[in-house]
Amino acid sequence: MVMNVPNAPFDESQQYWLDNFNVGDSWRLFRIMAEFVEGFDSMAVVKRPTVSVFGSARFEEGHIYYDIARKVSSGLSEAGYAVMTGGGPGIMEAGNRGAADVGGISIGLNIDLPFEQEGNPYANLPLKFKYFFVRKVMLIKYAMAFICMPGGFGTMDELFEAVTLIQTNRIKSFPIVLVGSDFWGGLVDWIKDQMLSAETIREEDLDIFEVLDDPDEIVQFIKRRVII
């Protein structure tokens, strides 16, 4: 008989936390399923191409990257696109705010975190998630393009997951814009100097993303690549 011990310490002899689940933890699968169902049903009402805008939660109003994200999102909304973000502060707030400024569809997919992440007030279609991987599915599944503002580990995670899915043909290729050549230039140079030279990627893989700086140019690039 297996005993259910609440808050049992992790057994170091086991490789994964998953191995240490208590009896009854399988019910968590229903919570995961419910998040997927709610997300799919909620996003089904959006009847226009959606662009995901993401980046650091730590850039506040007045920061150049906040202002660029807001302007890009306004331009995209005016052009007829829905704007989707992670629903939190910083760049996410700027993205939702830019869409809301012009009366556009402003989608915020918020995540429960112990710090940094509280829902911003500018999303007119807010959703709340407990699990990162469910939220990431939504950000990719319903996106026709990615606007990647400067950010930290979370931004890199979302960016490279999309790049990997496109590279491996798991999803249809869509435009990925890295905003800010000063921020992204070093990473792109490293990819070329190390990955490409070591032949861990192919030359054509570099075409998956584009580095741009000007907000108007970014909007025009998306309009050329994602036809409404």
pTM: 0.87
* pLDDT (tens digit per residue) in 81-111: 999 999 999 999 999 999 999 999 999 999 8
Closest CA to 206 of 170, 174, 167: 167
Edge-to-edge order in the sheet of strand 145-148: 125-129, 106-111, 82-85, 50-54, 145-148, 176-179, 209-212
pLDDT of residue 38: 95
Q: Where do the domains of the chain lie?
A: 17-225
Closest CA to 147 of 215, 206, 87: 215
Whether the per-residue pLDDT at 4 is higher than 50: the answer is no
pLDDT of residue 23: 57
Question: 41 or 10: which carries more pLDDT confidence?
Answer: 41
* Cα gap 216→219, rounded to integer Å: 5
CATH topology of domain 17-225: Rossmann fold (3.40.50)
